[in-house]
Structure 1
Amino acid sequence: MNKQPLYRKYLTLKYIGWGLFGLVIFLSALLIGYFIGFNQVEDELIRERVQTQHLVKQIEQIAAIDEHSATPSKSKEAAYDSEIKRLQKELQALLEQEHRREPLKPQHEYAPKEPKASPPPAAVRPKRLDGTQPKLVIIIDDVSYARDVRAIQSTGLPLVMSFLPPSPRHSESAQLAQRQNRYMVHLPLEAIDFNDEEPFTLHVGDSEETIGKRIIALKQLFPNVRYVNNHTGSKFTGDRDSMEKLIRLLKKEGIQFVDSRTIGKTKVPEVSTLLGIRYIGRDVFLDHQDGVRNVKRQIKEAVEKAKRHGTAIAIGHPRPDTIQALIESKELLSEVQLVGIEQI
C-alpha cells in the first residue's frame, strides 16, 4: 500500500483550515448583517410606533374637544327646537283665533258706539279759482277681498282703492292691489277707542326704528305705493311726535301721507308744514251713515266742495249702500272730473 507524502497531508489540512476560516468569516458576516438589519428594522418600527402613539394622542384630544363642544351644541339645539315649537304653537293659536273672527267689516272708528255721529270736520280751504275744472277724488277704504274689488269696478267709475295690509283675515290684499293700475295703502294707526285693531297697526310711542321697518315691509308688500291714508288713527294722528316720525320716514321713501281726519285735532297739517310737505286731507265721508239716500247726500256735498275749492277728497267703503249710491249718482258726478290722488 502506497503512503501519501507528508507535505501533501499538510497542504490538505491547510486548505481545510482556510476553508473553515472562510466559512467562519462568511457566517460571521451573515450574522453581523442580520443583527445590523434587525436593529435598523427595529429602530424603524420604534419610530413608527412613536408616531402612531402620537397620532393616537392627537385623535384622542380632538375627540375630547369634539365631545366637549358637542354637548353644549346639542343642548342649545334642543333648546332652540323647544323654543321654535313653543312659538309655532303660539302662532297657530293666534291664527286660529284670528280666523274665528268675523270677516272685516268697513266701519268708522271716531264714533264706534254712535253710528249716526257726524265725522270730524274737514280742513278749512280756499275757494276755487275761476276757470279751473273741479276735480274730485273718491277713495274707497278697507279694500281687502276680491269681492271688494269687483264691487268697486262694477260702478264703472275711476275710484281709488285703498288696500289694507295683509292679515290672516285678508291675506290676499297686497296681491289684489298689485293688479291695479293705481292704488293706495290704508295704513292702520292706533285709535282712541276701537276694538277691531289690525295686526299691522302702528302705535303712539313706537320707535323710529319700528316705524321705519314697518314702512320697508309696506313697500315690499306694495312695491308701487305712493300714497297712504290712515285706517283709524285718531290717537296716532293726534300725537305730534308720532306723526313727525311717520311722515318724515314716509317722505324719505317717496310716499305721501293723506289724512283721513278721524279726529278734529289732527297734527298732520302742523307736521306737514314743518317738514315742507303739502297737506292733503279728507273733505267728506260718504257713508258714515247707512242707507243709499244718506250716501247720495254725501256724494252731492263732495261735488259741491270740489266746485267750491277746485278739488275735494271723499272717502267711502265697499259697502252695498255705498256702491249703489255711486252708481245712481253718475249724472251728478259728471259735473266734476273724477281723478286719482296724484292729480290734485
Structure 2
Amino acid sequence: MHKYQRSSKLFTRSAVTKIIWILSVLIATIGAFFIGYFLGFQQAEKELRHEREQTQKLIDQIQSIAKIDEMNVTASSKAQTQDKEIDRLKTELKSLLLKEREAPSARHEYAPKEPKASPPPSEKRIPRVSGTEGKLVIIIDDVSYERDIAAIRSVGLPLVMSFLPPSPRHPESAQLAAKEGTYMVHLPMEAVSFTDEEPETLHVGDSEEKIANRIAELKRLYPHVHYMNNHTGSKFTSDTASMEKLLPILKKEGIVFVDSRTIGTTKVPEIAKKLGLRYLGRDVFLDHEDGVENVKRQIKEAVEQAKKYGTAIAIGHPRKDTIEALKQSCGILSQVKIVGIGDI
C-alpha cells in the first residue's frame, strides 16, 4: 500500500511536470503564432496602406490628366468655335460691303441738293480744227476691288482706272493698282452735301502741311501715279484757298489734277491758269442716271464732244449698267480713238 502511494505521487508529479512542459511549449507556440500573426498583420497592413497610398496617387494623377485633357479639349473646342464665329462674321461683313458697293449711285460725285438735278456742265471750249482725229478718255472712278478690274477689262477698251485710296472698306486698292501699267488716284475731297466720306478726305480749311502729307502718303502708296481726279469734292474744288494749296503741291510731286467738275463753280480752271498749268476737266458723266440706255445716251454725247472739240473726258463707274452700255456701244465708240489720259 505504501509502495503504491509512493508510485502514485511520483506519477502525479511526473505527469504534472510533463503537462506543464507541454502547456508551456503549447503556450509558447501559440504565443509565437500570435506574435508572428500580429507582426505579419502589421506588416501586411503597412504594405496594404502603402499600396492604397500608391493607388490613390495614381488615381489622383489620372484625374489630374483627365482634367487637363478636358480643359485642353474645352479650350480647343472654344477656340474652334471662336474661329468659326470670326469666319462667319467676316463672310457676313464682306457680303454686306459687296452689296453696299454693288450699285452705287453716280450722283454722289456731285452731290446735288435736288435729286433730279443734272450734273454740272463741262468747261466752255473751242471746236477742234477740221480733219483732226477725235480722242476720248474714259475714266472709271471708284476702282477698289478685283471684281471692278475684271469688269473694266471685260469691255475690251483702254479705259482709265482711277483707284480710291485704301481704307477699311477696300484695303487692297493700292496693291491692285500696282499690278496695272497705268492708273489714276481718285482723291477724296469735301463735298457740299455728302455724308459717307472716305477716310482722310481733304477738307476746306486743311493746312498746307496736312494736304502735303496726304499727297506724299498717296505717292508712297501709288508710286507710279501721274494723275489724280477728285472723288466728290464739290466744296473743296469751289474753294479758292483750298485749291491754291493743293495744285502747287501736286505740281511739285509731278501729278496733274483732273477736275471731275462735281460743281459748276469749280475754281480749278482759273487757279490752273494762274499757275501756268494746263486745265483738264470732265466733259461728260456717263452714269449719273441708272439704266443701260441712259448710259448709252451719255456715251454718244461723249463721242460727239470728242469729235467736236478734238478731245473729251468722260467719267463713269464700274457698275453693271455702265459696263454693259460700254460693251453695247462699240460701234459708236469706234468713231473716235479711245486713249489714256496722258494722250490728250
Q: TM-score, normalised by structure 2?
A: 0.70
Q: Which structure has the greater CA radius of gyration?
A: 2
Match of 2:106 in 1: 107
Instruction: Give the C-alpha shift of residue 132 in structure 1.
Output: 1.0
Is 1:271 aligned to 2:271, yes or no? Answer: yes
1:162 match: secondary structure: strand
Counterpart for residue 192 of structure 2: 192
Q: Percent identity?
A: 68
Q: Say whether residues 1:281 and 2:266 are aligned partners.
A: no
Map of 2:322 onto structure 1: 322
| Letter paired with 1:194 | F
Partner of 1:86: none
In the TM superposition, residue 117 of structure 1 has moved relative to its aligned partner by 2.3
Counterparts of 2:298 and 2:191 in 1: how far apart (Å)? 24
What is the CA-CA distance between 1:181 and the residue it aligns to? Answer: 1.1
Structure 1 counterpart of 2:153: 153
The 2-side partners of 1:166 and 1:187 are apart by 11
Residues in 2 aligned to 1:111 and 1:131: alpha-carbon distance in whole angstroms: 38
**Equivalence for 1:312:** 312
Maintained 8 Å contact 1:284/1:302: yes
Structure 1 regions of 5+ residues with no counterpart? 1-97
**How big is the shift at 1:213?**
0.3
CA contact (8 A) 2:111 2:192 kept: no
Given that 1:142 and 1:186 are in contact with CA atoms closer than 8 Å, whether structure 2 keeps it comes out as yes
Partner of 1:342, secondary structure, is helix
2:202 maps to what in 1?
202
- State the distance in 1 between where 2:297 and 2:181 align: 29
Partner SS state of residue 136, structure 1: strand
Matches within 5 A, 1:111-260: 111=111, 114-260=114-260
Change in Cα spacing, 1:226 to 1:277, as seen in structure 2 (3 Å) is same
Letter of the 1:273 partner, please give it: K
8 A contact 1:188–1:202 mirrored in 2: yes
Residues 62-93 of structure 1, C-alpha deviations (whole Å, 9 max, x = no match):
xxxxxxxxxxxxxxxxxxxxxxxxxxxxxxxx
Q: Report the Cα distance in structure 2 between the residues aligned to 1:326 and 1:165, rounded to whole angstroms.
A: 25
1:183 Cα deviation (Å)?
A: 0.5
Instruction: Answer yes or no: is the 8 Å Cα contact 2:128–2:310 preserved in 1.
Output: yes
Q: Matches of 1:282 and 1:270 in 2, distance apart? A: 15
Contact 2:105 2:290 in 1 (8 A): no
1:301 is aligned to 2:296: no
**SS at 1:124's partner residue?**
coil
2: CA distance, partners of 1:303 / 1:295 = 12
Q: How far off is 1:114 after superposition?
A: 4.7
AA of the residue aligned to 1:313: I
| Alpha-carbon distance between aligned partners in 2 of 1:148 and 1:113, rounded to the nearest angstrom | 28
SS in 1 for 2:136: strand
Q: Please say if residues 142 and 162 of structure 1, whose CA atoms lie closer than 8 Å, have aligned partners that are also in contact.
A: yes
Q: Which runs of 4+ in 1 moved over 4 A?
A: 98-102, 112-115
Q: Is the CA contact 1:108–1:232 (under 8 Å) kept in the aligned structure 2? A: no
Cα shift readout 1:171-199 (whole Å, capped 9, x = no counterpart): 01011111111110000000010011000
For the aligned residues, what is the CA RMSD? 1.7
Q: Deviations over 1:306-343 (max 9, x none)?
A: 00000000000011000000000001100000000100
Q: Distance in 1 between matches of 2:105 and 2:140?
A: 10
- 1:115 deviation in Å? 4.6
Cα pair 2:111 2:234 within 8 Å, conserved: no
- The C-alpha deviation readout for 1:16-48, integer Å capped at 9, x for no partner, is xxxxxxxxxxxxxxxxxxxxxxxxxxxxxxxxx
The Cα of 1:221 is off from its aligned counterpart by 0.5
Aligned length, in residue pairs: 248
